[in-house]
Every structure is written in structure tokens, then in C-alpha cells.
Amino acid sequence: MNLISKNRFIFLLLLLLLPFSFAFSGNQQFTPARVVSIADGDTIHVLFNGKNERVRMIGVNTPEIAHPELGIKEQPYGQAAQKYTTSALKGRKVFLEFDVEKRDKYGRLLAYVWLEKPASTREPEVRKKMFNAILLQNGYAQVMTVPPNVKYADLFVKLQREARNQNKGLWGITEKTGTSRVSSPTVSKKSYLGNSNSRKFHYPSCKWAQKISPSHRVWFNSREQAIKAGYDPCKVCRP
């Protein structure tokens, strides 16, 4: 085999092996963990790398359950979201996928929680196997985008829109009766609109709130919820 033929052979061999190398490296991003307990709909405790860790699911926000010691009141659908997460995850082996920022300021792991290791991270697999997405699809959570962890942000907005249009979960309740449909969080006078880019929250009527791009909008049901999520009040509308 002459030098040219040998180089061609090596080149073709590398081309054949390239997809396998990508597949191998992709598998490394999903780290197994065992769910020990459930804090609320979007926060779980897991056994991860031999340690007990608190995991906050990226990109989603479920209604709050009551924490009197923190001054946090029960929100509609909070208990339902917690029970749903408990029934789906408690005691189960899951796979954690991390984004750019691995921990928040509270020391919690920030992760996408997969029910099983996916064949890819394309939309069909996300819909079927990622629990963050499943919460959105079933109306147990709203989108909460916090840069730089935005890998699935556009898809999450799409899933939320679908759930809202179908009146699923929290999109089919009202503050008064708990049974009628709400078309959007904006109907409640107690709602606040956050900007995931500036990390500020506003009254929906604030001129700055109305300038927030759809991809950066994050709705909160209370002032306490916005502050807990790490947002600061707007200095113009003073929510």
C-alpha cells in the first residue's frame, strides 16, 4: 500500500469512527442518580456520586406548597404538583443532565431529570423521557428560564403553550373556584412578570414589563415567589 492509499484508508477509517465517538461522548452527559425524597414539584433529593444532593429542575417552576416558617403560602396546584412528582420519581433511578451552570447560589444542583437515558436530545425523546418537559406538558409547571441554562428553553415554551391551550393542570383552574379555566397568569392581579435576562420582576402593567421579549418572560404568582427565585423588584413600578 503506497503512502497516498494509506492516508486515504486512515481518513476513511476516521470518518467511520466519528459517529461512534460522538455517541460515546454524548452518553457521558447523563449521570445516574437515585431519588430519595421530594421537596416539592420541581425540587428533589437524590443520592448522587455517593452524596445526598438537592436538585432543582432547570427551566420549570411548579406552584409553591406551604412553608409557614418562610412566610410562603400554599398556591393552587402546589400539592398536586408535589404528589405528581412523588408518584413519578420517588425511589426511582434517574439520569441528570447539566447545562452551563451546575449549581445555584443555594448550592443546589441544577439539572434536567431524565426518566431513562435518551437515545438523543431531540424533541421526541425530550417529550417522552425528560421529567422537566413532562411537568410542562401536563400543566404541573410553568416555564422559568434562567440564563445561562437555556438549552431547552424554546422547546419548553412550546410545551407550555400546548398545555395552556388544552387547559391542562394549573391552566384549567382559577384562584376563586379552583376549577374554571384561566387563559394566562396575567388575569390575576397578584401576578408578577419577571425578566430572566435582567433578573428583575415587575407589575404586568409596568412599561418595562411590556418590553420584555416572550423568550425572557417568567410569571410569578406572588412577590415572595419572585424573590425566592432570585429576582429583584423593579425600581420603577416598585412591585
Residues with active-site annotation: 56, 64, 108
Helix (H, G, I), strand (E, B) or coil at 109: strand
Query: Alpha carbon of 12 to those of 5, 9, 19, 23, 87: distances in Å?
Result: 11, 5, 12, 18, 50
User: Rounded distance, CA 1 to CA 10, Å?
Assistant: 12
For residue 225, with 0-12 CB atoms within 10 Å meaning exposed, 13-18 middle and 19 or more buried, which class applies? Answer: buried
